[in-house]
Amino acid sequence: MPVNYYIFLSLALFIIGIVGVLTRRNVIIVFMCIELMLNAVNLLLVAFSKMHHLAQVKINPAAGAEAQLFVFFIMVVAAAEVAVGLSIIVMLYRNTHSVDINFLNRLKH
């Protein structure tokens, strides 16, 4: 089972996320697409951890664990980010009653 498949899969997910960021105007959806990108990374990391585990399990039985822990940390951070991000969005909504990023153009030039 070549690891390339996983690389391509997660790259595809990642890019889908980017495209979402590029094409949507709803802030929340944009944010969700970013979450999608993070998940792509997680998937890739897990795949790699598996790969390295198999490669080095003889010398180090715990090989590859650090990647899974990294994924864990990513989730942690993502959760925190979501908390902050959503509160920012809510705050903005309170002031403008809109979540359209195209309305965010007071600051330019």
Partner 1 sequence: MNTLILSAVSGVIMMFSSFVLNKGRSVQILAHVLLLAIIFTNIAELRGITFLQIDTKGLLSFDKFSLLFMVVANVCTLAFFLLSSKDMEKVGRSYSDYFALIFFILAGVAISASFKSLLMLFLGIEIISIPLYILTGSDKRNLKSNEASLKYFLMGAFSTGLMLMGIALVYGATGTFQTTLNIAADKVPVLIVAGMMLLMFAMAFKVSAAPFHFWTPDVYDGAPTVFTSFMATVVKAAGFIAFLRLFNDAFVDIRTEWKLLIAIIVAATLFIGNITAVFQQSVKRMLAYSSISQAGFMLLAVYSLNSDAKEGLILYAAAYSLATIGIFAVLIKMKDYTFDGFNGFAKTQPLIAAVMVIFLLSLAGIPLTAGFLSKFYMLKATINAGGIALAIFAVIMAAVSVYYYFRLVQAMYFKTGETIVFDVSTGFKYTLISLAGITILLGLFPNLLTNWLYF
Partner 2 sequence: MSITQILFWILSVITLGSALMVVVSKNPVFSVLWLIITFFTISGHYILLNAQFLAVVNIIVYAGAIMVLFLFVIMLMNLNKETEPQKNKWLKLAGAVAGGCLLLVLVAALRNTEKNITELTTGDIGLIQNLGKELFTNFVVPFEISSILFLSAMVGAVVLGKREEISAVEPEIKKLKVDQHEMNVPV
Partner 3 sequence: MKNLIFLIPLLPFIGFLINGLGRKSLSKNIVSIIGCGVVLASFIISVTIFFQGNYSVTQFTYFNFINAGILKIPFAFQIDQLSTLFLLIITGVGFLIHVYSTAYMKEENSDHFARYFAYLNLFVFSMLLLVMGGNFVIMFIGWEGVGLCSYLLIGYWFKNIDYTKAANKAFVMNRIGDLGFLLAVFWLLAKLGTVSYHEVFTAANIAKLTTTDITGITLLLFLGATGKSAQIPLYTWLPDAMAGPTPVSALIHAATMVTAGIYMIARSNLLFQNAPITNSVISVIGAATALLAATIALRQNDIKKVLAYSTVSQLGYMFLALGSGAYAVAVFHVMTHAFFKALLFLGAGSVIHAVSGQQDIRFMGGLKKKLPITYFTFLIGCLAIAGIPPLSGFFSKDAILLSAFEHDKFLYVVGVITAALTAFYMFRLLFVTFGGSFRGTDEEKHHIHESPAAITIPLIVLAVLSIVGGFVGVPEVFVHGGERLITYLSPVIAPIKHNVAHATEYMLMAVTTIIAIIAIVLAWLRYRNYKDEQSSPVSRLLQNKWYVDELYNNIFVNPINKLGSIANKYFEKKGIDGLVNGVGKLVNHGGRQMRWLQSGQIGSYVLMMVVSMFLFFVLQFFLRK
Residues in 7-26 at the binding interface with partner 3, rule: CB under 8 A:
18, 21-22, 25
Residues in 66-105 at the binding interface with partner 2, rule: CB under 8 A:
66, 68-69, 71-73, 75-84, 86-91, 93, 99-100, 102
- Per-residue buried b or exposed e for 11-48, using 16+ beta carbons within 10 Å of the residue's own CB: eebbeebeebbeeeeebeebbebbebbbbbbbbbbbbb
User: Residue written as tokens 């790259």?
Assistant: 11
- Does position 58 bind partner 3 by CB under 8 A? no
- Does position 34 bind partner 2 by CB under 8 A? no
Structure tokens at 70: 């990294």
Query: 3-class SS at 41?
Result: helix
Q: Which is nearer to partner 3, 10 or 49 (CB)?
A: 10
* Amino acid in position 66: E
φ/ψ of 26, rounded to 5, equals: -75, 120
Residues in contact with partner 1 by CB under 8 A are 3, 7, 10, 14, 17, 21, 27, 30-31, 34, 37-38, 40-41, 44-45, 48, 51-52, 55-56, 63-64, 66-67, 69-70, 73-74, 77, 80-81, 84-85, 88-89, 91-92, 95-96, 101, 104, 106-108
